Amino acid sequence: MIEAIIFILAYLLGSIPSGLIVGKLGYGIDIREHGSGNLGGTNTFRTLGIKAGLLVTGADILKGTLAAALPLLFGLDHLHPLLVGIFAVVGHTYPIFAKFRGGKAVATSGGVLLCYVPLLFITMLAFFFIVLYISKYVSLSSMLAGVYGIIYSLFTKDIPLIIVITLLTSFVVYRHRANIKRIIDKTEPKVKWL
């Protein structure tokens, strides 16, 4: 019974629509009606600027970290934090509090990994910014950071980590399928501040 409650809490944490809250409370804007229409950090950066983008991205990371930490907080050693974290990622992508229209799962997935393997999160973040500096594409940087994470995880021989990060990366790539097409067509927006 307690396990079910943990999974529901993780989903509800993930469902907190950071982009919608920051947009409406801070700027009087529903960011789903601007830019890509996405609730994630990238669209917030483009629509509302760096301050709002950082706030939303940080909040989305924190959702994943807190969700993955729930088994520890409740003393449930048998419940794997990565498994619980997946529910937060699902919540972020399909949030009950925002008509199931959420983000693309990048920051919240990162937050789950931050809880479980902080070093992996830090090196993925560094890899993300290296690719971003070279390519200027946030979407490509996000996907390739996931691929890097898979490669990193293979060296850990941590089977749950390998499985979960492969699933998360696959999901991130799936959520970016329109971006992939735009990158191929050379119509994907590039960051201008880097």
Calculate the dihedral angle through the C-alpha atoms of 25, 132, 188, 56, rounding to the nearest 10 degrees.
Answer: -10
What is the end-to-end Cα distance of the chain in Å, rounded? 48
The predicted model scores a pTM of 0.93
User: Would you say residue 156 lies in a domain?
Assistant: yes
Please report, for residues 88, 172, 187, the alpha-carbon distance to residue 146 in angstroms, rounded to integers and kept in the order given. Answer: 17, 8, 23
pLDDT at position 194, please?
66
Residue 181 within any structural domain of the chain:
yes
**CB 108, CB 92: distance < 8 Å:** yes
For 34, phi and psi rounded to 5 degrees? -135, 160
Residue 123 lies inside a defined structural domain of this protein: yes
Determine, yes or no, domain membership for 194. no
| Residue 191 belongs to some domain of the structure | no
Exposed / middle / buried, residue 48 (Cβ in 10 Å: 0-12, 13-18, 19+): buried
Per the listing, tokens 């499985």 go with: 163
In a domain, 190, yes or no: no
Cα–Cα distance measured from residue 93 to residue 88, given in angstroms and rounded to the nearest whole number? 9
Each residue's pLDDT expressed in tens, for the chain with a length of 194 residues: 899 999 999 999 999 999 999 999 989 988 888 877 788 888 888 888 889 999 999 999 999 999 999 999 999 989 999 999 999 999 999 999 988 988 898 999 999 999 999 999 999 999 999 999 999 999 999 999 999 999 999 999 999 999 999 999 999 999 999 999 999 999 998 887 76
Residue range(s) defining the domain that contains residue 24: 2-185
Does residue 171 lie within any of the structural domains? yes
When divided into structural domains, the chain yields a total of 1
192 falls within a domain: no
Outline where DSSP puts E strands in 79-160: none
